[in-house]
Chains A and B, each alone.
Chain A
Amino acid sequence: MKAYLFITCLVDTFFPQVGENMVTVLRRLGVDVEFPEDQTCCGQPAFNSGHREDARAVAERFLSVFDKALDGSGEDSYIVCPSGSCATMLKVFYKELFHNTPVLLDKAHNISGRTYEFTEFLVKILKKTDVGARYKGVVTYHDSCHLLRELGVRDEPRKLIEGVEGTELREMEMHDSCCGFGGTFSIKFPRVSVSMLDEKIECILNSGADTVVSSDMGCLMNIGGALSRRKIPVRVMHIAELLASRNNESE
């Protein structure tokens, strides 16, 4: 089994430890990990803000990087991504972006068919819910919108959290309500965005959890940014970090 990492520019640049954690978990489960080094961004920021011409140029490059990387690889090779949103770009939005370009559309279909968001990959492909992690804490899970509603991944992250030794999963109210990030939305309408975030933070606090986990660093930098500004002692964690954790320290 081989996993080609689609690391996302956000994790690459701001949160490299999340990428490392993902590698740790995958290797622990016996997966051979590769990182196509030419990758940069999938093009979502431009696509989401309506700049399709620029998005296409970036996406086309992205496709060719992964096309080349996967060339000749076996049936058991996958692309794995630590973000529901970036995986959505590939699996859902590339079809919109290239609907008039059959060659690229074919390529996009081929690539997206082998692409999985990290938790979905662990549960659906590797069929694992216990990855040997230990973390002592009360965890609440924030559903990121793209992962939940575009990719339909709801149970996988929860099963994985429940599989962590020492962890209690406690659902917050409105766990599937947007945190207000929305990419460029968060700086186009910062006040609306923060107002949505206020609601989310209230739900997190009401849950009584000491750790908030999600599958997207976009949401987590938004939630975490407010928690740290307000000096609220709730730990923010990408699910890869939780799953890599042994005794509250990631390996």
Chain B
Amino acid sequence: MGFEKVRFEKDSARALEDKKLQHALVNVTNRFRSARNKASGEVADWETLRARGRDIKKETIANLDKYLCELEESVRRAGGHVHWAGDADEACRIIVDIAIRNDVKSAVKSKSMATEEIELNANLERAGIRAVETDLGEYIIQLAGEHPSHIIAPAIHKTKDDISKLFSEKFGIPYLSEPEELTKVAREKLRGEFLNAGMGISGANFGVADTGTIVIVENEGNARLTTTVPPVHVALMGIEKTIPRYEDLSLFLTLLARSATGQKSSTYVSFITGPRRETDIDGPEEFHLVLLDNGRSRILASEETRESLYCIRCGACLNNCPVYRQVGGHSYGWVYSGPIGAIINPQLMGIDSAPELPFASSLCGACRDVCPVKIDFPRVLLELRHKVVESKKENYGAGGAMIEKISVRLWRYIVTSKNFYNLTSKISYYLQLPWRSGNGSLRSLPFPFSKWTDERDFPAIAKTSFRERWKKIKQETG
């Protein structure tokens, strides 16, 4: 992996050129969107559930220190080990150490955005440990050497044809056109991996503080195998995934499944409390929970944007975002994409690494409408935009930033004086005349206005403004 800086403008331009990707994005987001709308519409008190979900998250995040300690104690009580990882390197080191201690040569992984975030696979490989993704989408992405482009559907940017070619090339098998055949190939390959793996690595959708239970939702059964077959199970969980009580689960599982895929419930929901007990038929001998901070406590410290941590990673904001629908996940430059990526990538990576992302939104608010915990995306984006501008103040080197700053200041002086404002409108009226076309609009303007007129006409400034006309209108009566 290794992302140094997000380049939204450049990467989104490439995505817009990719016809196959455009087609896939429309299909998948439409499908998810209508499934979600149907599934949430079936629940009579859906809005109440969302409000309740938000309240619980708000209370949990505000008291995260307390709940995390409770979670740690509960996991230990159940016989598990708990590790605290301040950043990505520390988390990788902890997991590699567990693997080395257990003489692990290969590990199976179920789908986890947190492991993508810390670039775990590359770190395991450097330590001589093979890590195999077992979620079908992730498996495809790993074979192709790419990154996920959607939180819950990592391979949506790949067509069936792409996958058929990939399998044929990587496994030396004939081109298979049926999805069932492709899935069968993957399943056969993966069965062996499960049986041989010395360690299973998973993420966690929820970590329940009062019981120490880790909850994983999925539809393929690979996470169930990952967490039960190998002798060691390591779960990596972002600290914000904590929920206080076991009884809160039914609410969050409802919100998550219906918002994510439009299912009433995911096909598999695994509740894991510690390692195998004496009476259990299967399950790992060792269970480790790695709690990942990696910038999250920085978000926690910022009261204005703290609600970014309420996210339960359902992906509904992606499917409903008109920007994501055009540009896909890779344009966001890091593991998280769409509206949630636009707010958490800059906060987790540091605002200077992703200064474009808070601006990569028209602030339409469609994301907020579908968010199961009602994150106020536009408000958070606006806060982050302010932070970007403030941070750029400090390093004035960026030319674009300086030009923007000067323009805004100039604009401010114009609009805070009526006379200056009137004069500017007048002067602009005459300045625009050379660009006016037959129908009165402006067809091409010099840079930076060309960014508008390359594909759209721009309206001409009126000869007499409303305020000038008002003098006459005032005299007339209705």
Interface residue ranges, A against B (CB under 8 Å): 7, 9, 11-17, 19-20, 23-24, 26-28, 30-31, 33, 35, 37-38, 40-41, 43, 45-52, 54, 57-58, 61, 93, 96, 145-146, 149-150, 176-178, 180-197, 199, 221-222, 224-226, 228-229
Contact = CB atoms under 8 A, between A and B. Distances in A.
B12 A192 contact: yes
Contact of B416 (A31, A40, A221): A40
Given A14-B461, A177-B322, A225-B441, A191 B16 contact: yes
A81 to B, nearest CB: 13
Contacts of B451: 187, 190
B43 interface: no
Contacts of B362: 145, 178, 180-183, 185-186, 193, 196
Tell me the interface secondary structure of chain A in the complex: helix
Contacts of B325: 199
B458 A225 contact: yes
Interface string B437-470: 0010101000011011011111111101111111
Contacts of B473: 20, 23
Interface stretch (B124-132, B177-185, B191-199, B379-387): B379-387
30 contacts: A9-B415, A11-B466, A12-B467, A14-B461, A15-B459, A16-B462, A16-B466, A20-B473, A26-B478, A38-B418, A45-B411, A46-B412, A51-B386, A58-B412, A96-B382, A145-B366, A180-B322, A182-B364, A183-B363, A188-B359, A189-B9, A189-B12, A189-B360, A190-B452, A191-B12, A194-B455, A196-B326, A226-B455, A228-B439, A228-B457
A47 B455 CA distance: 26
B364 A14 contact: no
Tell me the interface secondary structure of chain B in the complex: helix
B416 A14 contact: no
Given A17-B462, A41-B415, A189-B8, 20 more contacts: A9-B415, A12-B425, A23-B473, A27-B477, A33-B478, A38-B418, A41-B421, A43-B415, A45-B411, A50-B388, A51-B386, A54-B408, A57-B412, A177-B322, A185-B359, A192-B327, A221-B459, A222-B456, A224-B457, A224-B459
Q: 6 closest A-B pairs (Cβ-Cβ)?
A: A27-B478, A182-B362, A50-B385, A225-B456, A178-B364, A50-B389
Contacts of B466: 7, 11-12, 16, 19-20, 35
Nearest to B13: A191
A224 B452 CA distance: 12
B404 interface: yes
Contact of B363 (A11, A28, A176, A185): A185
B101 interface: no
A50 B361 CA distance: 13
A183 B363 CA distance: 9
Nearest to B454: A190
Contacts of A150: 365, 378
Given A13-B425, A225-B456, A40 B16 contact: no
A148 to B, nearest CB: 8
Nearest to B359: A188
A193 B362 CA distance: 8
B362 to A, nearest CB: 3
A85 to B, nearest CB: 10
A14 B412 contact: no
Contact of A13 (B13, B386, B458, B462): B462
Nearest to B462: A16
B170 interface: no
B409 interface: yes
B272 to A, nearest CB: 39
B368 interface: yes
Interface residues of B, number: 70
B50 to A, nearest CB: 15
A24 B451 CA distance: 36
B323 interface: yes
B361 to A, nearest CB: 7
Contacts of B358: 50
Contacts of A7: 466-467
Interface string B347-360: 00000000000111
Contacts of B55: none
A57 B418 contact: no
Nearest to A23: B473
A233 B192 CA distance: 62
Contacts of A31: 478
Nearest to B384: A50
B138 to A, nearest CB: 27
B19 interface: no
Contact of B478 (A28, A52, A225): A28
A49 B368 contact: no
Contacts of A33: 478
B322 A178 contact: yes
A171 B363 CA distance: 23
B437 to A, nearest CB: 9
A20 B452 CA distance: 27
- Choose among B366, B382, B412, B421 the residue with the greatest number of A CB atoms under 10 Å from its CB: B412
A12 B429 CA distance: 13
A54 B416 CA distance: 10
Contact of A177 (B366, B386, B461): B366
B478 A30 contact: yes
A182 B454 contact: no
B248 interface: no
A46 B454 contact: no
Contacts of B359: 49, 184-185, 188-189
Contacts of A181: 362
A187 B322 contact: no
B369 interface: yes
B446 to A, nearest CB: 13
Nearest to B8: A189
A54 to B, nearest CB: 4
